């Protein structure tokens, strides 16, 4: 029984470690090949878009008609004029 609880704790630690590593790899990285640049350029390069980890890709998709900025935010995969759209115009 003691061995089983140690296994559970080890599994939980491994999953936590993998989650942390995955989040770190999603963070913005400054371009190392640029010499000293202005603060404005550094801030521009550190601007990040929405984090789309596999969990949020499935949970975070928006329905037709919802506000969007990029195609990957919509469940339909198409963002037109700031709203999730179908692939073809809907004629009513």
Q: Which helix (H) or strand (E) holds 87?
A: none
The SS3 of residue 90 is: coil
Per-residue pLDDT tens digits for 3-18: 778 888 999 999 988 8
Give this prediction's pTM.
0.34
Q: Which long-range contacts (CB under 8 A, 24 or more apart) does 27-32 make?
A: none
CB 62 within 8 A of CB 56: no
Supply the mean pLDDT for the chain.
72
| Helical ranges in the chain per DSSP H | 2-25, 39-45, 54-59
- Domain residues of the chain, as ranges? 1-25, 61-92
């Amino acid at each position: 029984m003691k061995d089983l609880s140690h296994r559970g704790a080890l599994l939980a630690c491994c999953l936590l470690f993998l989650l942390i590593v995955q989040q770190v790899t999603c963070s913005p990285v400054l371009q190392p090949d640029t010499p000293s640049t202005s603060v404005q350029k550094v801030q521009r390069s550190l601007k990040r878009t929405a984090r789309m980890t596999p969990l949020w890709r499935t949970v975070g998709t928006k329905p037709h008609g919802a506000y969007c900025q990029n195609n990957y935010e919509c469940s339909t995969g198409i963002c037109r004029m700031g709203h999730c759209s179908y692939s073809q115009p809907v004629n009513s």
